[in-house]
């Protein structure tokens, strides 16, 4: 039923970009409308995936599978396929892709043609990353995507765009080439072991069950870690993010925060956990430590920002820390929450960047102190901003709450053996969850304070009197995000149902048992022998 659909979804934006090449340079409106149509088609054809998803599947849906030989000499194949985890990311990408194109209509006035070409090529790259089930193909898409993003920041960015663009490109490339070494190591190990040199994910993932792979997998874990952690970004690899997010044009920030960052977390979920389970368990305390440092550090730094967009950027560091906390809880709740929170973050932070973009387009400044009392001037805008703020800080009935709650439920299940020892002190177990909770409090503080400083108070700045409320187009692209926030907040069941089986399998792969730390469980009372009369059939 879905035969060829994934390739279609992936390459429709690319085809659109190629067609835009033939547009005359001056027909700015025509190009914008056409790009929007392409993105809309892409979203529309991806909808059946979500609506008709078979939730009983733990693995990859055979209906979506596409497999061709690509470079037989090295065993690289063209393999596309989705499971319950990646289908959510594909949907997020096509939705945010459409919204970011819509948001660019009036924001981009120069070099319009190139802009939409880069935006659409970027979308192909991102979709390819989430769809590829061949490590080589995955890497190709992973890198391809950097080039259009570099141009989006570098050409249409803010004052410091060149610095931000190069920093983004170099930083990410540095991570991904180290990841490439990890990929090569997996490839050669598997080849030497089985005689089959392949990049096929479904085969390579079986290495997770190979006990001899453990020694090598410790190194590979760190190679992958660098690649993914820079993308996430995890503390201390986050320094490219504030620059890139702040300088990028609105659509670029939306895509960066909404989709690009998820590639890092997706990478951990897709590769590190099932392929390197023992190493993942071994290093989980370090990952958790970096995650909670990210949560608290990101929140504290966000609190002191004077730049609206930078504040949102640092809040991403904090929120992505939450996702990592959930993922490396290595249990069902943690992973469910972590993955759902990735989607939530894409929705709410994407919306926050759009909101900054709306005021920036009107006032051309991002300084929080320039604003104040906007709620009187822009009531619709203020209402939407309020909902998104609440979603971001995790108010019940909105999506953030569901995600954070589930993550914390998972984090509280982390056994106390998962701890870091330092000079006789040992921190771990519930500690991670406690740190996470404090992150939520800080999150509420900086978001509400931001809201108060910009929306409430007097309209002191005469410049702000000229500000107009959201126009129809702006409402149109914000409303779907708001609706999704309520949907996940009020009725998250469809999402959890899609995630249920894949996550259960993932937890099984990464270590078995409900907590994911079965091997670390304190030796309790010996299990009842089989012939024990007390044993119940």
Partner 1 sequence: MEFDAAKYLQDSQFIIAELLLCFFAFIILIVSAILPKEARRSIAWLSLFGTTCVVPSVAWIAWQLKGDAARPVFFGDVAVDGLAFFFKLIFLVGALLTILISIRYMDIERAQAGEYYALIMIATASMMFMATALSLLMIFIALETMALSIYILVGFLKENRKSNEAALKYFVLGGFSTAIFLYGSSLVYGATGSIQLSEIAVRAVPGAPGVEIAVLGLILITVALGFKVAAVPFHMYIPDAYEGAPTAITAFISTASKAAAFVVALRVLLAGFPGLHEYWAPLVALMAAASMTLGNVAAILQDNMKRMLAYSSIAHAGYTLMGVLVAGMPGATGQFGLKAVAVYMMVYTFMNIGAFAMVIMLRRENLVGDQVADFSGLARRSPLAAFAMLLFLLSLAGIPPLAGFMGKWYLFGAAIKGHYAWLAVLAVVNSAISLYYYLRVVVCMYLREPLTDEPYNTSPALTAALAIAAGMTLLIGIMPERFLRLASFSYTLMMAAAPG
Q: Give me the residues that bind partner 1 (CB under 8 A), please.
A: 70-74, 139-140, 143-144, 146-147, 150-151, 154-155, 162, 166, 169-170, 173-174, 177-178, 180-181, 184-185, 187-188, 219
515 φ, ψ to 5°? Answer: -90, -15
- Which of 127, 88, 94, 44 has the alpha carbon at shortest distance from 495? 88
CB of 190 to partner 1, least distance (A): 12
Distance CA 315, CA 167 (A): 20
Instruction: Give least dist CB 23 to partner 1, A.
Output: 13
- Which DSSP state fits 234? P
Tokens of 23: 């547009």
Q: How far is the CB of 442 from partner 1 (least distance, A)?
A: 34
Q: Of the two residues 219 and 487, which places its CB atom closer to partner 1 in the complex?
A: 219
Q: Give the H or E element holding residue 428.
A: strand 425-428
Task: Name which of 165 and 408 has its Cβ closer to partner 1.
Answer: 165
Task: Please report, for residues 109, 165, 261, 299, the alpha-carbon distance to residue 157 in angstroms, rounded to integers and kept in the order given.
Answer: 13, 8, 19, 25
User: Smallest distance from the beta carbon of 401 to partner 1, in angstroms?
Assistant: 40
Task: Using alpha carbons, list the distances in angstroms from residue 460 to 51, 363, 369, 375, 470.
Answer: 49, 14, 10, 13, 21
Residue 2 or 228 with smaller CB distance to partner 1: 228
Least distance between partner 1 and beta carbon 127 (Å): 15
- Residue whose CB is less far from partner 1, 23 or 496: 23
CB of 141 to partner 1, least distance (A): 8
State how far the alpha carbon of 393 is from the alpha carbons of 323, 341, 400, in Å: 14, 12, 7
Return the structure tokens found at 531: 């012939």
Task: Give, in order, the Cα–Cα distances in Å from 114 to each of 43, 155, 473.
Answer: 22, 10, 22
Q: How far apart are CA 347 and CA 342, in angstroms?
A: 9
Report DSSP letters for 317-350, one per residue: HHHHHHHHHHHTT-SHHHHHHHHHHHHHHHHHHH
Q: Which is nearer to partner 1, 187 or 517 (CB)?
A: 187
DSSP sequence for 58-85: SS--GGG-EEEEEETTTTEEEEE---HH
Please identify, using beta-carbon distances, which residue of 226 and 414 lies nearer to partner 1.
226
Nearest distance from C-beta of residue 74 to partner 1, angstroms: 7
**Identity of the residue, 140 or 459, whose beta carbon is nearer to partner 1 in the bound complex:** 140
Q: What gap in Å lies between CA 281 and CA 511, rounded to an integer?
A: 8
**Which structure tokens are listed for 179?**
């990841």
Residue with smaller CB distance to partner 1, 68 or 456: 68
Question: What tokens were used for 158?
Answer: 């803010």
Q: What is residue 371's DSSP assignment?
A: -
CB of 71 to partner 1, least distance (A): 5
Minimum CB distance to partner 1, residue 109 (Å): 16
Would you say 118 or 446 has its CB closer to partner 1? 118
Nearer to partner 1, 136 or 451 (CB): 136
Beta-sheet pairing, 425-428 with 66-71: unpaired
Tokens of 468: 């107009």
Question: Does residue 79 come out as left (phi exceeding 0), alpha (psi in the -120 to 50 range) or beta?
Answer: beta
Burial of 531 (0-12, 13-18, 19+ CB in 10 A): exposed
CB of 181 to partner 1, least distance (A): 5
Indicate the residue among 157 and 403 with the shorter CB distance to partner 1: 157
Q: How far is the CB of 270 from partner 1 (least distance, A)?
A: 19
């Amino acid at each position: 039923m879905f035969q060829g659909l994934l390739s279609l979804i992936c390459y429709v934006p690319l085809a659109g970009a190629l067609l835009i090449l033939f547009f005359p340079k001056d027909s700015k409106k025509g190009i914008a409308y056409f790009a929007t149509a392409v993105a809309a088609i892409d979203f529309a054809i991806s909808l059946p995936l979500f609506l008709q998803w078979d939730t009983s599947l733990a693995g990859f849906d055979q209906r979506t599978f596409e497999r061709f030989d690509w470079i037989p000499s090295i065993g690289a194949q063209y393999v596309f396929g989705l499971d319950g985890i990646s289908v959510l990311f594909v949907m997020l990408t096509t939705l945010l892709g459409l919204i970011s194109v819509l948001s660019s209509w009036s924001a981009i006035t120069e070099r319009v043609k190139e802009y939409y070409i880069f935006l659409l090529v970027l979308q192909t790259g991102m979709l390819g990353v989430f769809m590829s089930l061949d490590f080589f193909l995955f890497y190709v898409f992973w890198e391809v995507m950097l080039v259009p993003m570099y141009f989006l920041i570098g050409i249409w960015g803010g004052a410091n765009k060149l610095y931000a663009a190069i920093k983004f490109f170099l930083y990410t490339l540095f991570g991904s080439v180290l990841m490439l070494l990890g990929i090569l190591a997996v490839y050669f190990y598997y080849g030497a072991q089985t005689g089959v040199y392949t990049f096929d994910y479904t085969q390579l993932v079986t290495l997770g069950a190979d006990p001899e792979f453990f020694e090598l997998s410790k190194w590979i874990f760190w190679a992958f870690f660098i690649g993914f952690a820079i993308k996430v970004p995890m503390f201390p690899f986050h320094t490219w993010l504030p620059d890139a997010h702040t300088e990028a044009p609105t659509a670029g920030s939306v895509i960066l925060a909404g989709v690009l960052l998820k590639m890092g977390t997706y990478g951990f979920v897709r590769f590190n956990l099932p392929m390197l389970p023992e190493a993942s368990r071994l290093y989980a305390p370090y990952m958790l430590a970096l995650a909670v440092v990210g949560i608290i550090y990101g929140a504290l730094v966000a609190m002191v920002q004077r730049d609206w967009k930078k504040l949102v950027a640092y809040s991403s560091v904090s929120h992505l820390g939450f996702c990592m906390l959930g993922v490396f809880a290595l249990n069902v709740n943690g992973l469910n929450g972590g993955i759902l929170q990735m989607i939530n973050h894409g929705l709410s932070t994407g919306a926050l960047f759009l909101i900054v973009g709306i005021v920036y387009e009107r006032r051309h400044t991002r300084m929080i102190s320039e604003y104040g009392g906007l709620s009187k001037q822009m009531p619709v805008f203020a209402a939407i901003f309020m909902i998104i703020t609440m979603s971001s800080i995790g108010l019940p009935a909105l999506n953030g709450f569901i995600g954070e709650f589930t993550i914390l439920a998972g984090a509280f299940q982390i056994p106390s053996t998962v701890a870091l020892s330092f000079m006789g002190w040992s921190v771990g177990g519930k500690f991670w969850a406690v740190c996470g909770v404090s992150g939520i409090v800080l999150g509420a503080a900086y978001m509400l304070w931001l809201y108060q400083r910009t929306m409430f108070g007097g309209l002191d700045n005469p410049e702000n009197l000229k500000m107009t409320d959201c126009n129809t187009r702006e409402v149109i692209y914000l409303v779907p995000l708001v609706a999704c926030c309520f949907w996940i907040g009020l009725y998250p069941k469809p999402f959890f149902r899609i995630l249920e089986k894949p996550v259960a399998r993932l937890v099984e792969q990464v270590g078995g048992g409900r907590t994911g730390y079965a091997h670390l469980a304190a030796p309790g009372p010996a299990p009842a022998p089989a012939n024990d009369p007390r044993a119940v059939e």
